[in-house]
């Protein structure tokens, strides 16, 4: 199988040394550190490991599983073992999805560099692969699994075993016939390209050929005009069909002669249908395509709850890895629970539980490093501050010193705003959300007074020696230097006071200015002024009622709601909640009863316009599929513009009772076929899946529904359904679709195989492939389902 990737693999000295194998130490904890022999296989795409060189090896990971490789000093675990192992010899393999990192320690710095550089070299190659190269790699992985004795060729018994692994139930005589046809060398085994030909024979697509022949006059090719007709009539590409047809032929037709003649062969047609252009997700929605200049409260914001946890809420591990993963997957609001720690250093953990602790300064440093790797749009630090006054000072110091220019510590122009700034205005800025001593107006007023005071003090510096001498010779009364305009309260200070003294006064809360002045103070304020000053546009306030918020709160003040409270408010006063969220930010968090870090469905809260619906992103499942589905659009930047009826402070929309003028639509989905569906449990070699497809719609309550096909018995490789499902949707602007493939099992209510979720507004019509994702959100390439989608205006059966 080496020949399949040969000539395309980027072989260098590091890769060659990795293929020879190397003994490294695998580290799982401070107490679990064991030597293992790791070796890159000859295909250059999979790494196996054994307890020792020459020992029984088993697969460890595929290069396509790897997201990146980090140096040893970036690993919390390896840093904790720095006295035992030099950090320069350590490195961390980071995988896609939620798979745990793999920490390894080499025997020398040189060996560590070989693996770090070699792995990253291969990862970069895999990332840049085109469609054909990805398929070749997938075949190479399967060949490695099927070639049980690892001799580089496959006998017929090995092929039979592989067919079961690949979910193919096939008559033995027919399988042997395909095997012998592919064995052109007549060696009794399949190697390299012979295996590819065997695979092609298995994966013929009669349903695609039927569509092709419906538009092809001669059944051999699509002319430019025939392809334009297909794009216009079936794919609903409209006026751009003519230009698009030529562009797609040049992109997907494999033969140069076909490109010159402007025709598309069946292979080119299939390549188009399997590509991003033939995907169910509209490519126009992949980059940032929305208006990013509206106020923050007009956007849904990808938000994380208890971000520091990578496990449950009671005994789970706290780790900066939680922040890295959340930020890299597009979260723009992360939560930090801060408590007093040892040696005067604040710590982060889930209070009053057995979760582990991490230093606050490490969290801030991690946010500084990863905040804008995925998106340039602003990151919100939602602080749950439980610290004493002294450690709040330390928090403020870490935030200002570590974040530096990234931290937004005053309004953008120094003036009092009339609305929240936009994501565009806040690019690459980190905002602090938390409690604040006073209002933004008072902050800006004090800044003005401070500037005036500083200019006065500069003029008084020359007279200072004379004043000091006069003060020493005669008793002087204290003179007024500043005045609290709100309460007409005079603050006294001696005439020889320094600028530092006056700065302390103007920074003190107006209600208790004397609490920070002189030793006679009896108590300290609960909130530290230096930390309070870092909260600018996101002041946390308690929610009492929507009327109270309108009468007493300002647009830059934000309230948090438990999921239970928020859902109750939607039922009791759904329209008032919508109007509230049109001018003020809301954050919703999971119930405290979710100690297992489970999630709630965010859709119900989005329907009311709630912007920051915080999720336990470490927990995979339906709810995170919905969250990922919404934020898959707009460049994955973490901000999605709400529909216009959720941005209007006089909106009449009620999420529980949606009525006109919303444009209802009818959706017809023909579920045609499936391709290369994986097994949930790869250890069950003899079992074959019985797949069915379920289509779920999430939106306003009347639109939330599901339908499913019947199941196909014993065929996960190329099942055919050919069934049509019909949905009627009142508010398509809020709807998300989730396509789920399950293995029919009447005992367990079906076993999950794969899914894909996307917004209704990002769905393409026509013949489309849906590329399935795992439960963890990672690609199951090349597993797909083939569908035909048609959207009609209005509700079918309506005469309106």
Longest dimension (CA), the chain: 116
Fold of the domain built from segment(s) 296-412+422-437+526-646: TIM Barrel (3.20.20)
Q: Tens digit of pLDDT for each residue in 732-744?
A: 999 999 999 999 9
Of the residues 121, 164, 262, 350, which is catalytic?
A: 350
Of the residues 49, 305, 750, 771, which is catalytic?
A: 305
Residue of 42 and 18 predicted with greater confidence: 18
pLDDT at 514: 37
Mean of pLDDT over the chain:
87
Coil, strand or helix at 309: strand
Q: Given its phi and psi angles, is residue 2 left (phi above 0), alpha (psi -120 to 50 degrees) or beta?
A: alpha
Smallest CA-to-CA distance from 689 within 622, 778, 772 is with: 772
Highest mean pLDDT among 155-169, 343-357, 528-542: 528-542
pLDDT band at 590 (very low <50, low <70, confident <90, very high): very high
Rg, Å, the chain Cα set:
32
Give the β-pairing of 612-615 and 303-304. parallel
Q: CA–CA distance from 159 to each of 154, 183, 191, 667 (Å)?
A: 6, 12, 11, 42
Is position 305 annotated as part of the catalytic site?
yes
The CATH code of the domain at 2-128 is: 2.30.29.30
CATH architecture label of 206-278: Orthogonal Bundle (1.10)
Highest mean pLDDT among 75-79, 439-443, 525-529, 606-610: 606-610
The sign one gets for the Cα dihedral 216, 221, 227, 233 is positive
pTM: 0.85
User: Which of 18-27, 212-221, 468-477, 744-753 is predicted with the least confidence, judged by mean pLDDT?
Assistant: 468-477
Res. 311: pLDDT tops 90 = no
Q: Which residue has tokens 């126009």? A: 284
Q: What is the mean pLDDT of residues 717-728?
A: 96
pLDDT band at 499 (very low <50, low <70, confident <90, very high): very low
The CATH code of the domain at 132-203 is: 1.10.238.10
Q: What is the mean pLDDT of residues 569-585?
A: 97
CA 642 to chain centre: 19
Res. 106: pLDDT tops 70 = yes
Q: Where along the chain do the CATH 1.10.238.10 domains lie?
A: 132-203, 206-278
Q: Where along the chain do the CATH 3.20.20.190 domains lie?
A: 296-412+422-437+526-646
Q: CA–CA distance from 322 to each of 101, 238, 332, 567, 619 (Å)?
A: 12, 45, 13, 27, 11
Here the tokens at position 111 are 């060996």
> Could you please report the per-residue DSSP string of 733-785?
GG-EEEEEEEE--TTTT-EEEEEEEEEGGGBPPEEEEEEEE-TTS-EEEEEEE
Is position 350 annotated as part of the catalytic site?
yes
pLDDT band at 481 (very low <50, low <70, confident <90, very high): very low
Cα–Cα–Cα angle for 431, 527, 403, nearest 5°?
A: 30
pLDDT band at 353 (very low <50, low <70, confident <90, very high): confident
Question: What are the residues whose beta carbons fall under 8 Å from the beta carbon of 326, sequence distance 6 or more?
Answer: 304, 307, 334, 617
Here the tokens at position 604 are 């119900």
CATH class of 665-793: mainly beta
pLDDT at 219: 93
Q: Tens digit of pLDDT for each residue in 429-458?
A: 999 999 999 888 888 888 777 777 777 776
């Amino acid at each position: 199988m080496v020949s399949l990737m040969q000539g395309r693999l980027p072989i260098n000295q590091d890769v060659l040394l990795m293929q020879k194998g190397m003994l490294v130490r695998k580290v799982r904890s401070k107490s679990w550190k064991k030597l293992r022999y790791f070796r890159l296989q000859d295909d250059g795409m999979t790494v196996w490991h054994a307890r020792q060189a020459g020992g029984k090896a088993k697969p460890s990971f595929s290069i396509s599983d790897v997201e990146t490789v980090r140096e040893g000093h970036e690993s919390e675990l390896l840093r904790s073992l720095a006295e035992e192992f030099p950090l320069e010899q350590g490195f961390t393999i980071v995988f896609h999805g939620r798979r745990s990192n793999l920490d390894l320690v080499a025997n020398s710095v040189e060996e560590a560099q070989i693996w770090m550089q070699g792995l990253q070299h291969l990862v970069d190659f895999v990332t840049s692969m085109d469609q054909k190269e990805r398929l070749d790699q997938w075949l190479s992985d399967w060949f490695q699994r099927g070639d049980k004795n690892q001799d580089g060729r496959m006998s017929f018994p090995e092929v039979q075993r592989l067919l079961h692994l690949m979910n193919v139930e096939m008559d033995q005589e027919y399988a042997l016939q395909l095997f012998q046809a592919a064995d052109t060398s007549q060696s009794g085994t399949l190697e390299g390209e012979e295996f590819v030909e065997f695979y092609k024979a298995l994966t013929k697509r009669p349903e695609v050929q039927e569509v092709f022949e419906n538009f092809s006059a001669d059944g051999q090719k699509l002319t430019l005009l025939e392809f334009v007709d297909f794009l216009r009539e079936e794919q609903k590409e409209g006026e751009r069909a003519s230009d698009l047809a030529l562009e797609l032929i040049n992109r997907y037709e494999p033969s140069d002669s076909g490109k010159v003649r402007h025709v598309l062969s069946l292979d080119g047609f299939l390549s188009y249908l399997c590509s991003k252009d033939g995907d169910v997700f509209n490519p126009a929605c992949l980059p940032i395509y929305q208006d990013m200049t509206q106020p923050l409260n007009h956007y849904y914001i990808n938000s994380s709850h208890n971000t520091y946890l990578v496990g449950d809420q009671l005994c789970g591990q706290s780790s900066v890895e939680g922040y890295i993963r959340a930020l890299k997957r597009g979260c723009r609001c992360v939560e930090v629970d801060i408590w007093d720690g040892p040696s005067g250093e604040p710590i982060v953990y889930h209070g009053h539980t057995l979760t582990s602790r991490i230093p606050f300064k490490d969290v801030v440093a991690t946010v500084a490093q990863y905040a804008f790797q995925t998106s340039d749009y602003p990151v919100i630090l939602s602080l749950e501050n439980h610290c004493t006054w002294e450690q709040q000072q330390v928090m403020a110091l870490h935030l200002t010193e570590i974040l530096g220019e990234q931290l937004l510590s005053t309004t953008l122009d120094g003036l009092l705003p009339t609305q929240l700034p936009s994501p565009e205005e806040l690019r690459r800025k980190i905002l602090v959300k938390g409690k604040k001593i006073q209002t933004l107006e008072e902050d800006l007023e004090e800044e003005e007074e401070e500037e005036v005071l500083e200019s006065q003090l500069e003029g008084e510096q020359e007279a200072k020696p004379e004043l000091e001498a006069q003060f020493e010779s005669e008793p002087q009364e204290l003179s007024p230097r500043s005045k609290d305009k709100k309460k007409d309260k005079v603050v006294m200070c001696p005439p020889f006071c320094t600028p530092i003294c006056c700065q302390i006064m103007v920074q003190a809360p107006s209600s208790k200015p004397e609490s920070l002045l002189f030793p006679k103070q009896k108590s300290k304020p609960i909130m530290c002024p230096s930390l309070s000053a870092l909260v600018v546009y996101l002041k946390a306030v308690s929610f009492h009622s929507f009327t109270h918020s309108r009468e007493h709160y300002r647009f830059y003040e934000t309230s948090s709601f438990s999921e239970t409270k928020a859902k109750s408010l939607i039922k009791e006063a759904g329209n008032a909640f919508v109007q509230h969220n049109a001018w003020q930010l809301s954050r919703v968090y999971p119930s405290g009863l979710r100690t297992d870090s489970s999630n709630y469905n965010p859709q119900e809260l989005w329907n009311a316009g709630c912007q920051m619906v915080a999720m336990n992103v470490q927990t995979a499942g339906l709810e995170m599929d919905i969250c990922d589905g919404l934020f898959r659009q707009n460049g994955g930047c973490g901000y999605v513009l709400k529909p216009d009826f959720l941005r209007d402070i006089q909106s009449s929309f009620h999420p529980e009772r949606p009525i006109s003028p919303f444009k209802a639509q009818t959706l017809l989905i023909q579920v045609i076929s499936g391709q290369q569906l994986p097994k949930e449990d790869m250890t069950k070699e003899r079992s074959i899946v019985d797949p069915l497809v379920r289509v779920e719609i999430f939106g306003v309550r009347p639109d939330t529904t599901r339908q499913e096909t019947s199941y196909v018995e014993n065929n996960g490789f190329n099942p055919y359904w050919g069934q049509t499902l019909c949905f009627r949707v009142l508010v398509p602007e809020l709807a998300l679709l989730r396509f789920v493939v399950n293995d029919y099992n009447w005992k367990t209510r079906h076993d999950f195989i794969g899914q894909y979720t996307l917004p209704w507004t990002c769905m393409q019509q026509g013949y489309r492939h849906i590329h399935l994702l795992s439960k963890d959100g990672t690609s199951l390439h090349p597993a797909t389902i083939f569908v035909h989608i048609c959207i009609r205006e209005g509700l079918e059966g309506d005469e309106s």
